[in-house]
Structure formats: structure tokens, C-alpha cells
Amino acid sequence: MSKKAKESKKNKPSNSSKSVKASRTSPAPDLSWFLNDRLGLFIHWGIYALPARHEWVRNRERITIEDYQKYFDHFDPDLYNPREWARAAKNAGMKYFVITTKHHDGFCLWDTKLTDYKATNTPWGKDLIRPMVEAFREEGLRVGLYHSIIDWHHPENRVDRIHPQANDPEYRKANQKRDQKKYIKYLHGQVKELLTDYGQIDYLFFDFSYPGEDGKGHEDWGSKDLIKMVRELQPKIIVNDRLDLMDKPGGWDIKTPEQFLVREPVTYNGKKVPWETCQTFSGSWGYHRDEQTWKSVKQLLTMLIDTVSKDGNLLLNVGPTARGNFDLRATERLAGMGEWMKVNARAIYGCGQAPEGFTQPEGCKLTYNASTNRMYVHIMNWGFKHLHLDGFGGKVEYAQFLHDGSEVNWTKQAGAWMSHQSGEETLTLNIPVQKPPVEIPVIELLMNR
């Protein structure tokens, strides 16, 4: 994955969860499924699962191609069962998935015709992508492919500042003889394979361009021709923002801030745009055996709720082991999220930011479904007996807990209705002293039309 993306320019919240699409001249893909589904599974998998020390292990430890070869030679994920992966994602409430077809180390998970550095030449000997795509489709999830536009294995790809041998003078000096045009042809050829051999692809996640001292940005990847080809091969596909084509119409569809939570809905040139934050269970994308900074189920749900409350999607990553299964820590957290989503999913799917005029209660997050006119109050910090909703007075028809459909009362007794300092009417809900038996309780408000 790339380093942290910078937060976009701020903009005032809108009246609905719908976002303004980026300016473009080519036909825009249908983003309705993306804006509705809100939660997806990211999968980072490759031969870096064998050292189990982060997917950037080649960069971090300055490992040469020759020394890295042992992981290729011993890659044999005998426990690989993509149907189990797909079921785990579906049960967690995820609606789409994205798999790393090739990460920065250049190892390919499919049977590409353009290199021998692929899964079919390892002891495993089979295409990993096809059965995965089929399994997730069978479970009803949409298909997304990740593809790194940099490649630490390809001999013609220019050595840059993040290459494992970036500090080797002789290796960098050889850049003078490298032909980036040959690499561009290779890159485009592989993307064409992926977009023609696996049916409808719903989402393409490129990673990543970094114009600066080492290159010319989109020119290094032939990004203009690449995005044109992508649109022609898969007109319905959604493409992220990492080809260095932000100012080019049709060069991107969604913004993808990484490993941080934005403070407000994401904007570009002063307009709200569709966005997705990609996040990890821990501090690593690939399998990291000794990583200990794992987020709890509540932290993960908080991240999801916060993202949706700002009109965004959450793409949550798991790094499978070298034997091809999910780490127990990941499966436990996916199951925990699934338990919450079973009863609270309608506070996530189809939801976004609350309309203007509704103040977010202290210790709570709001999500809103414009099509059903229902507001959801996610109680992150359980209070005591009363929940004050500023700006909600006279606007609510009915209130209930979402996990069990039990009514939440409000009264017109003294203290139940009041005038807020801002002049807005405050609605006070009477909630039980004891927190309900769900990780984060949600109150559903049916709003007056």
C-alpha cells in the first residue's frame, strides 16, 4: 500500500448522503451500488506471507531479488479455500471485495502470460484469482481487483526512492539503461488480461503514482492510455484516484484516503466526491505474525460508523497466511462485526451524512437514509437515562432500538422538551440505565415527512 494520503479540502456538509461526481467528459459508471454498500473486504496476499513481517518486507529489509526468491520457491497455500473467505466476508456484512492481483514485489496471483513470476510456477501451481472471484460472486459480493503500477521485480521498471535497492548506487545507475516504455507495455498488458479474463469487474484499485524526484508521474505509467483502455474494456467499472490523473476528466471516480479517518466528507475542487477509506485490522496489510496492535471489534465498528456518517465507504483489510487461511484474530473480528451487522445493517447500507440542521449528540454518531427518511443514532458512549437530541424536536414520528425493535419513549413532561441555546428544539429520549447487549446500540428514528 502507499503512504498516507493527504486529507482533501473541507466543505460544508450537504443535505443528503449523495455525493457530487468528479467532472468528466466520458460516461461515468453507476456508483449507486458503491454508495449503498458501504463496507468491503480488502485482501493483501502474496509470497510476503511467508516471511510474515509486513508486505513491504523487501523494502524494509532491503532484500534483493535473489534473496527474496526462497519465498517464491516455497509458496504452497494448501489450506486455501476461497469459499470460506467469501462466507466470512458475507457474514461480516461486506458487500464487495478487492484482492491484490500483484503487489509492489511483482508477484502475480493469476496465470499471466507476460511473466513467469506467478502463482502457477510456485509449488502451488494454480491460478489463485479465478476461484476467488467465482467464490465471492457466488456469495453475492461484487468483485474488485487491486493492481500495483510499480514493480520491484520487473527489470525495466525504473528504480525509485522506495525500491528495495534504492540505496545501491550501482543499481540506481542502471536506470540509464532501463526502458520504462517496455515496462508500460507490460503494465498495460497485465491490466488488459485481468479485465478480459475474469468477467465483469466492478472496481479497480490502482496503487500508486508518486510524481517527484524519481519520475514524471502519470507519464511513467502511460496513465492516460491506461485509463482509456480500462474504460473501453469495462465501461461499468469504478476506478480509484492513484494514477496521477486527478485533473483529467474520467481519470478517476472515487478518492481513497488511507489509514486515517477524515474529519469531514471528502471534497475535490470544493465539491463532495465519493470516497472510501482503506484500513487494517492491525498495522500491516500483509500477514504479520508478530503484529500486536490489533483493533477491537468496537474500534472497527466505530471506524465504520464514523466513515458512513461522513458519506464514505470502509474497505477493511485482512492478510491471509502463507497456508492460505485467515488469521484467527481476523476471523474473530469479522465474526464480531457480523453479529452487530445482523441487526444494525440498515443503519449502514444506503446511509450517509445527516442533513443540515441536526446536531450530533455528545458521545454519538448519526447516519441517515434519505430514501427511507430514517435517522440512526449510534450511541458510542452509553449515557444515563436521557439522550438529548438538539434540533430533533417535533421532527420524529417514532423511535426504537434497532437490535430488537423495542420502543424508545419520549415525554412532554418538564425537561423532556426544551429550547436549546441556539433556539433549536431539543428532543430528549428516555433510555434504559443498563446498556443493551450489543457492542454499539443504535436507535432508529422514523422522521416526519
Sorted by where each begins, the domain ranges of the chain are 32-347, 364-447
Residue type, 28: A
Q: What CATH architecture is 32-347?
A: Alpha-Beta Barrel (3.20)
Rounded distance between C-alpha atoms, residue 166 and residue 397, angstroms = 63
CB 382 within 8 A of CB 436: no
Q: What is the pLDDT of residue 110?
A: 98
Q: What is the pLDDT of residue 38?
A: 98
Task: Classify residue 247 as exposed, middle or buried by CB count within 10 Å of its CB (0-12, 13-18, 19+).
Answer: exposed
Rounded distance between C-alpha atoms, residue 308 and residue 368, angstroms = 9
Task: Classify residue 395 as exposed, middle or buried by CB count within 10 Å of its CB (0-12, 13-18, 19+).
Answer: middle
Q: Please name every residue paired with 54 in a beta bridge, in sequence order, or none if there are none.
A: none
Rounded distance between C-alpha atoms, residue 33 and residue 17, angstroms = 13
Q: What is the pLDDT of residue 158?
A: 87
Q: What is the pLDDT of residue 267?
A: 94
Task: Classify residue 348 as exposed, middle or buried by CB count within 10 Å of its CB (0-12, 13-18, 19+).
Answer: buried
Rounded distance between C-alpha atoms, residue 40 and residue 144, angstroms = 9
3-state secondary structure the chain: CCCCCCCCCCCCCCCCCCCCCCCCCCCCCCCHHHHHHCEEEEECCCHHHCCCECCCHHHHCCCCHHHHHHHHHCCCCCCCCHHHHHHHHHHCCCCEEEEEEECCCCCECCCCCCCCCEHHHCCCCCCCHHHHHHHHHHCCCEEEEEEECCCCCCCCCCCCCCCCCCCCHHHHHHHHHCCHHHHHHHHHHHHHHHHHHCCCCCEEEEECCCCECCECHHHHCCHHHHHHHHHHHCCCCEECCCCCCCCCCCCCCCECCECCCCCCCCEECCEECCEEEEEECCCCCCCECCCCCCCCHHHHHHHHHHHHCCCEEEEEEECCCCCCCCCHHHHHHHHHHHHHHHHHHHHCCCCECCCCCCCCCCCEEEEEECCCCEEEEEECCCCCCEEEEECCCCCEEEEEECCCCCECCCCCCECCEEECCCCCEEEEEECCCCCCCCCCCEEEEEECC
Q: What is the pLDDT of residue 3?
A: 39
Rounded distance between C-alpha atoms, residue 79 and residue 324, angstroms = 5
- On whether the 364-447 domain is CATH 3.30.420.40, my answer is no
3-state secondary structure 114-131: CCCCEHHHCCCCCCCHHH
Rounded distance between C-alpha atoms, residue 266 and residue 243, angstroms = 18
Q: What is the pLDDT of residue 214?
A: 65
Residues of the chain with pLDDT under 70: 1-27, 211-216, 411-424
